[in-house]
Structure 1
Amino acid sequence: MTTILLAIDTDVERAKEQVESVTTLPLMREDTRLIIYHVFRADGEGADARNLRSVSTAIEKLEDAGFEVEVRQSSGDVVRGILDEAERIDADIISLAGRKRSPTKKALFGSVSQDVLLKSERAVLFETTTN
């Protein structure tokens, strides 16, 4: 069984590209566990990741491709949340989507994707978008 954690943010186009990168992998649908994971930055009490357009789009596209999908969520520090959830489910791959940013913007605003890439001991599938 291959377990993939798709860390989905709120951007629909990035979610579509991220899903496409996963669905093109040579995976046996029945032997693949896909978990869509969203971290709300603020207290997520009462929030439901399934209500986000990015998450609902990802679910629809993955199910159309023949995958069963689980959805999980948390709130707080995004990087810590992704790394902790990957550990909790023993993910083989963490799937991320990010946008191209200049070195200055990275230095000023940081990058969740960069932090996960640097801190994870797991394989990371990274899809870069231009938006």
Structure 2
Amino acid sequence: MKTILLCIDTDVKRAKRQVESITTLPLKTDDVKIVIYHVFRGGEADAKRLKSVIETIDKLEEAGFTFEVCQSSGDISRNILETADELNVDTISLAGRKRSPTGKALFGSVTQDVILKSNRPVILSPAE
């Protein structure tokens, strides 16, 4: 069974694009497990209560995929990479964002960091 780490933030539109990018791949739903993953920047909360996660769950259920929801808190890039290793996932799914080069330099880019540091394939859903 293949495992996809579907890294969801709080943006519902980005979550929908990510789910669409996975559900349109030629995958057999019985052969794929999806781990919906959210990293909180601060203290712990319940990822299952986020609108983006709720929407993701609904779409994955409609498509017939097996999934679970996981969460953590702290450094987003590091947690994504560590969780991918711990779960031995086959692929990481991220959502792209539109950012200027200056914005990336000042605030960093989780997507860029994960792509550069991961030894796993990364599915990048396009920004708007």
TM-score normalized by structure 1? Answer: 0.95
In the alignment, what sits opposite 1:26? 26
Q: CA deviation at 1:123?
A: 0.3
Q: CA deviation at 1:105?
A: 1.1
Amino acid aligned to 2:7 = A
Distance 1:104 1:75 in 2: 26
CA contact (8 A) 1:5 1:37 kept: yes
In the alignment, what sits opposite 1:111? 109
Distance 1:4 1:26 in 2: 14
Aligned residue for 1:99, secondary structure, equals coil
Counterparts of residues 73-88 of structure 1 (less than 5 Å): 73-88=71-86
In the alignment, what sits opposite 2:61? 63
Query: Which runs of 5 or more structure 1 residues have no equivalent in the other structure?
Result: none
Amino acid aligned to 1:7 = C
Q: Deviations over 1:37-88 (max 9, x none)?
A: 00001021xx110000000100100110011210000001101110011011
Q: Deviations over 1:83-113 (max 9, x none)?
A: 0110111111000002121111111111111
Distance 1:122 1:17 in 2: 21
Aligned residue for 1:72, secondary structure, equals strand
How many corresponding residue pairs? 128
Distance 2:41 2:16 in 1: 21
Q: CA deviation at 1:128?
A: 2.0
Distance 1:84 1:24 in 2: 27
Structure 1 residue ranges (4+ consecutive) displaced by more than 4 angstroms after TM superposition: none
Query: Which runs of 5 or more structure 2 residues have no equivalent in the other structure?
Result: none
TM-score normalized by structure 2? Answer: 0.97
> What's the RMSD between the two structures over aligned residues?
0.7
